[in-house]
Amino acid sequence: MSELDPDLTEAAVADHQREAVAARPPLSRRALLGAAVAGTAGLVVGRVAGPLIPSSPTPTPGPKASSLVAPAVTPFFGVHQAGVSTPLQDHLHFAAFDMLEGARRDDLVNLLRDWSAAAARMTQGLPVSLPESRGSDPDASADTGESLGLPASGLTITIGLGPRLFESDGVDRYDIAAARPPELEPLPRFDGDALSEVLSDGDLGVQVCADDPQVAVHAVRNLSRIAIGRAAIRWSQMGFMHTTKDSAIPQTPRNLLGFKDGSNNILGANEAVVDQHVWLPPTSIPAWAAGGTYMVVRKIAMVIDAWDRQPMAKQQAIIGRTKETGAPLSGGEEFTAPDFEARVDGMDAIDHAAHVRLAHPSSNGGTRILRRGYNYVDGTDAYGRLEAGLLFISYQRSPGQFITLQRALRADLLNPFIAHLGSAIFVVPPGAPEGGFVGKTLLG
């Protein structure tokens, strides 16, 4: 592992806020809409024109046609898959699929081809069309309909391949075992893991994000329908995160501990840092994965009621930052670099086992990951306690980056208040060129 980050000087970290603002797309959606109307926009934005069902005798008027905020379209095709360095959307529906017993290599190839074609349409706000839905009953309609008339809502669909897809119990089901990236192994067991099989793993992992939960759910549902006869959902998870990506002053979203989550995260728009820590370089082995990345998914439950009983000072000591502003307890503002040497009244300002210290790149040889987690609430347990937490998702060019950071958290003061219930790892192939499909570099 050589994750040393030359940018990670204290000054650079202190500059994070300025960088964050600078790295943001310079135009608001409204400005982009204006530009699009004027025909000068460089990005694809705005609702795709035309009736959603071509056979419609009377095209319905577009929703929010006169709304102030133009819905975003993020292209599915590209050098990298969308949904990794893309600014966080407000909603997530993650789904892990297993290939069905008896499915063959052709089924896998056709599934990835159909998914890519459907994803290309859905991410433009279009319904799934018939050729992709071949797995369904031929009499059934191609699209399930619940997103008819809704804008694309920034939908991204990011497809990953799990270790067992390459080899399951020693069986090379799809003739790809030799192409398995050596680093694509099930994650090691970590201290405090309380994993459930029904919330873990998967032959295929699909991260679906959108600014409208109905659009995200529609995408997972239709991908699942397209998979009929070839693959089925193993587990899935909804999530939400309050983003302020359209604001002039972006705010770091808060997790359900009530703290800002991601103050020191890699910014997707910072291409140099993403290239260094996230994307697999052109020299990757195997070469088919170049331009891809590794996705780690962890379902982390929070012991909400116990956490909420802690005094504010204790919560802040555990995290190592203030709750309101997110400033490190060593002083300053949210994006001020933590000073782990600082002392207050003869004590460490930031506890030796505070979360921010253990997780910080400077405590881990510069190791960084791009986190893209979402808060979840699954309702309430039999004791009336919220079943809530974080669906942690991280992207990194090596699983070792996540493993290093997760092992560093062994002594984390936060551990009594969280439990890792689910775990999965996937290699994310590079993006597909227009009309191609994700996985083609592996499967031809």
Q: Does 435 bind a copy of itself (CB under 8 A)?
A: no
Hey, is 109 helix, strand or coil? helix
Task: Please give the structure tokens belonging to residue 318.
Answer: 């555990």
Q: Does 196 bind a copy of itself (CB under 8 A)?
A: no
Hey, is 156 helix, strand or coil? strand
Task: Please give the structure tokens belonging to residue 359.
Answer: 């997780």
Q: Are 388 and 239 in contact (CB under 8 A)?
A: no
Hey, is 206 helix, strand or coil? strand
| The one among 255, 265, 270, 406 contacting a copy of itself by CB under 8 A | 255
| The one among 1, 79, 194, 198 contacting a copy of itself by CB under 8 A | 198
Q: What residues numbered 136-155 form the site for a copy of itself, per CB under 8 A?
A: 136-137, 139-141, 143-150
Q: Residue 63 or residue 188: which is nearer to a copy of itself going by CB?
A: 63
| The one among 39, 170, 379, 444 contacting a copy of itself by CB under 8 A | 379
Q: Does 221 bind a copy of itself (CB under 8 A)?
A: yes
Q: What is the DSSP letter of 216?
A: H
Burial class of residue 429, CB neighbours in 10 A (0-12, 13-18, 19+): buried
**CB neighbour burial string for 52-63, b if at least 16 within 10 angstroms, e if fewer:** bbeeeeeeeebe
Q: Does 247 bind a copy of itself (CB under 8 A)?
A: yes
Q: Are 121 and 130 in contact (CB under 8 A)?
A: no
Pattern 274-303, a copy of itself, x by CB under 8 A: ------------------------------
| The one among 193, 240, 408, 415 contacting a copy of itself by CB under 8 A | 240
Choices 93-101, 110-118, 183-191, 352-360; region in contact with a copy of itself by CB under 8 A: 93-101
Q: Are 329 and 321 in contact (CB under 8 A)?
A: yes
| The one among 241, 297, 317, 425 contacting a copy of itself by CB under 8 A | 241
Choices 80-88, 108-116, 379-387, 402-410; region in contact with a copy of itself by CB under 8 A: 379-387
Q: What residues numbered 326-365 form the site for a copy of itself, per CB under 8 A?
A: none
| The one among 336, 375, 396, 441 contacting a copy of itself by CB under 8 A | 375
How far apart CA 239 and CA 77 sit, in angstroms, is: 25
Nearest partner of 165 among 431, 430, 424, judged by Cα: 424
- Give the shortest CB-98-to-a copy of itself separation in angstroms: 8
Q: What residues numbered 108-137 form the site for a copy of itself, per CB under 8 A?
A: 136-137
Q: What residues numbered 14-73 form the site for a copy of itself, per CB under 8 A?
A: 28, 30, 52-53, 56, 58, 60-61, 63-69
Pattern 303-322, a copy of itself, x by CB under 8 A: -x---xxxxx--x-------
Strand partners, 95: 206, 236
CA distances from 437 to 83, 114, 393 (A): 16, 8, 23
67 C-beta neighbours (distance < 10 Å), count: 12
Q: Residue 47 or residue 180: which is nearer to a copy of itself going by CB?
A: 47
Choices 112-120, 235-243, 285-293, 416-424; region in contact with a copy of itself by CB under 8 A: 235-243
How far apart CA 167 and CA 181 sit, in angstroms, is: 11
How far apart CA 191 and CA 171 sit, in angstroms, is: 30
| The one among 258, 286, 400, 436 contacting a copy of itself by CB under 8 A | 258
